[in-house]
Amino acid sequence: MTTNMVYQVHVGDGFKKKRMKRTNSFFKTPGEAISEALAFKEKMDVTYQNEIIWDYSRKIKGTVEKMKILKGYLKGDKKTDAFYLQITSVEHLDEYNVVTPKKPKKISTKDKKVVSQVTKLFV
């Protein structure tokens, strides 16, 4: 049995108040997980007609086991439940299904900075 780390993306939908993830999907690298997270972000932006204001100034919090990388609020109202992108890591066991990540169509300059910051934290 081989062991090393795999990564999974969790997304919080502040409007529907539920957590989402692609079922049984784990990624080999933090970079792949970040790509998947940004694809989820892009999908939420389309769903909510770009009315989620993402807080890029917020410090990335957590440990490599559970790290919230980006938080946002519908119409910027911080009194509402937050939308968030989170990456978790677990020890890889052979039974985890490692998949290819979804990729966002576009990545903004601010998103590239988040990718850079998160990648450094996982190294």
Prediction pTM value: 0.87
Give the three-state DSSP class for 23.
Answer: coil
- Rounded to whole angstroms, the Cα distance separating 57 from 60 reads 9
How does DSSP classify residue 31?
Answer: H
Nearest to 122 by CA among 26, 32, 19: 32
Q: Return d(Cα 71, Cα 58) in angstroms, integer.
A: 8
Contact 74, 67 (CB under 8 A): no
Backbone angles phi, psi at 41, to 5 degrees: -60, -45
- pLDDT by residue for the chain (123 residues), tens digit each? 345 889 999 999 988 888 877 777 899 999 999 999 999 999 999 999 999 999 999 988 888 899 999 999 999 999 989 999 999 998 876 777 788 999 999 999 999 999 999 988 887
